[in-house]
Structure 1
């Protein structure tokens, strides 16, 4: 139990690697000139075009590159969280964490809400995830493992939400909620996967945010987003650069979503996996977050200081911050590379850094986290004294 508690205390600094938070508002602007040559469009009109998009079918190749400015941490989250599926498993919750670092190529196909397929192409190995009706199949070629879950069509369905009656009404609501913290422009045009697109550029007006801009390439004909880029004020490669390299909006063949268990593959049922991990990863992670003052029964949510892009969440863990030398050995190098010691009126602590999200953990157990600069976190901690 003591070992589990020690490990759980490192979930927040490690989890900083996977969090990005910012409030996005919108301000209309005219499109700039660009290539290809498309009719001018206002930001509001482009938002309406996105909202009106009804793309149900497509297939193509998708490339995603992620650079959080972190040392390598493949497998680290699963190990610290208390025995997740890890390597050699077809469980999607284990496999898709690979996308949070490096560059990956995926093949994607969709035929409405009932049929989708994603194949992760990394070297010679393949990982496929297929949703067909009420079944989900996943296959990891490296381990020859299969994951199967039935009833996913209903259980995985998102709850119905009441939306504005028209795309224009939705755009009006978004613009109304913008406030003075954000600008949006139509930043010219682009060609993505051989298709003409407008570039919707969203950026903070506030000083102190780590976000330089979010750019969304929107298909001029269908209103479908084709590419997403998140840039940091620290410069260098984008934090996230994800988009289609090939895309076709025709309906994929029905056979695309068929799945047959490969010869000799071991099949794990989703309900069995849940039983096997009962009392392990999910509960351990919940407890770990509770140890840091996040979530859990009887826990108060974090207090939010500031607004918009420079909002900072703060909470009190109730105990002294962990020390790197006490961390599990597999995490020490990661923590050393991630953290810088800081001090101020608040006392002393460590800032855990990424290119987007930073977190300050003070030596007396308080945590400040946001998509803001380390100095903004120190200023917030000082102001709380």
Structure 2
């Protein structure tokens, strides 16, 4: 204790810390629409790739032929290094935004720093380096490399392990069968993500082959997907496809507003050889705190948009299965969620002290219409309108589209 520091001041500081933590937890549920889909934008591109310079001379191929090549690709084994940069345009809140994202994604998780539903929210902003490996549907590993530390998520047969070397904590869940964990899955492969993107290809979408590229030393075709509809925040999706294997190697999503990519992720090195079997072995280190997944707690460790993995996927019936309504179609689809929280953003009394509602309101734009009043929270990709009657409208659409949907709803 410092010479002038008293026990009272220490207690007061702890109380302040606890109050701030409680406010962050309460705030988290009000930014779930933005946070969940924002994290989705980061995590769904875990294993695509960064392009090198050069445009290789490859045989001509049509968009449909390239789509077929992706569909027929059956790469089961790979390893490599991935770099992912995410710029959702989230405000700098001095660390609060990380707490909100983590709380929203964890959503009542088990409280371990090794829980992937909390840990992988770090990919929602900034630039990160990952090591990835896969050997069929039963063995995958993703390691997030940090300064002086590493976080690993390992799926091996019936076990899924998360390990945070910084805190020496371990998270463990067991598979429910068919290589699927009880609560957590390993991240989507490039082919998984490309398959989801290509589900959005309909009469609302333009698809073409736009030249070639060198990705991690491999020749690739560039497939470009663009919405035909106006009002969406999605500008274009570019997927670099390995010319030999048909494996998607690079994923870049740019917003309709222009500027830097929202997500630019990819291999800096990749191999399609079989990884060493020991890559997927894991035993909790001596002295590590091990947390077992809560029984009956279903859901993915990788947070995806409700009912659909990709902006533009026209599947309102899937949203309906998950308890959501959907307005519109294609890239303009808007999920409608009844949060049950009447009165809009939390007030001081609801947040345990302080004007949390005013704070969150300052991050959004007040709007009004036939629906009443509400607040729009925006990122460069996903916008969400929270109305005073507890409804949430969220989608990869602009603010005007959300207000129009709320008025119609």
Provide the residue aligned with 1:31 in structure 2: none
Provide the residue aligned with 2:153 in structure 1: 129
Distance 2:128 2:90 in 1: 17
Provide the residue aligned with 1:99 in structure 2: 123
Provide the residue aligned with 1:312 in structure 2: 334
What do residues 58-117 of structure 1 show as CA deviations (whole Å, max 9, x unaligned)?
11001111221112511224446665445x622222222222222111101111112222
The answer (yes or no) to whether the contact 1:59–1:248 under 8 Å persists in 2 is: yes
The answer (yes or no) to whether the contact 1:10–1:327 under 8 Å persists in 2 is: no
**2:253 equivalent to 1:264:** no
TM alignment of 1:252-331, pairs within 5 A: 252-268=275-291, 270=292, 273-274=293-294, 301-317=323-339, 319-323=342-346, 327=351
Match of 2:400 among 350, 368, 375: 375
Provide the residue aligned with 1:218 in structure 2: 241
**2:57 equivalent to 1:37:** yes
SS in 1 for 2:33: helix
Provide the residue aligned with 1:56 in structure 2: 76
Distance 2:251 2:215 in 1: 11
Provide the residue aligned with 2:217 in structure 1: 194
SS in 2 for 1:274: coil
The answer (yes or no) to whether the contact 1:15–1:77 under 8 Å persists in 2 is: no
1:327 Cα deviation (Å)?
A: 4.5
TM alignment of 1:338-357, pairs within 5 A: 338-357=363-382
Structure-2 change in CA distance of 1:202 and 1:151 (3 Å): closer
Distance 1:225 1:333 in 2: 44
Distance 2:114 2:337 in 1: 36
What do residues 159-185 of structure 1 show as CA deviations (whole Å, max 9, x unaligned)?
xxxxxxxxxxxx9xx79x844211011
Q: How many residues align?
A: 333
Distance 1:330 1:264 in 2: 42
SS in 1 for 2:64: helix
Distance 2:223 2:166 in 1: 39
**2:39 equivalent to 1:17:** no
TM-score, structure 2 as length reference = 0.71
SS in 2 for 1:38: coil
What do residues 194-236 of structure 1 show as CA deviations (whole Å, max 9, x unaligned)?
1111111111111100000111111111000111111111222
Q: Which moved more, 1:329-338 or 1:61-70?
A: 329-338
Provide the residue aligned with 1:116 in structure 2: 140
Structure-2 change in CA distance of 1:246 and 1:300 (3 Å): closer
Structure-2 change in CA distance of 1:143 and 1:38 (3 Å): same
1:14 Cα deviation (Å)?
A: 3.5
1:18 Cα deviation (Å)?
A: 2.3
Q: Could you list the runs of 5+ residues in structure 1 that have no partner in the other structure?
A: 23-33, 159-170, 283-288, 290-298
SS in 1 for 2:69: helix
RMSD value, Cα: 3.5
The answer (yes or no) to whether the contact 1:315–1:367 under 8 Å persists in 2 is: yes
Structure-2 change in CA distance of 1:252 and 1:333 (3 Å): farther
TM-score, structure 1 as length reference = 0.75
Structure-2 change in CA distance of 1:373 and 1:47 (3 Å): same
1:311 Cα deviation (Å)?
A: 1.8
The answer (yes or no) to whether the contact 1:324–1:335 under 8 Å persists in 2 is: no
**2:87 equivalent to 1:67:** yes
The answer (yes or no) to whether the contact 1:119–1:126 under 8 Å persists in 2 is: yes
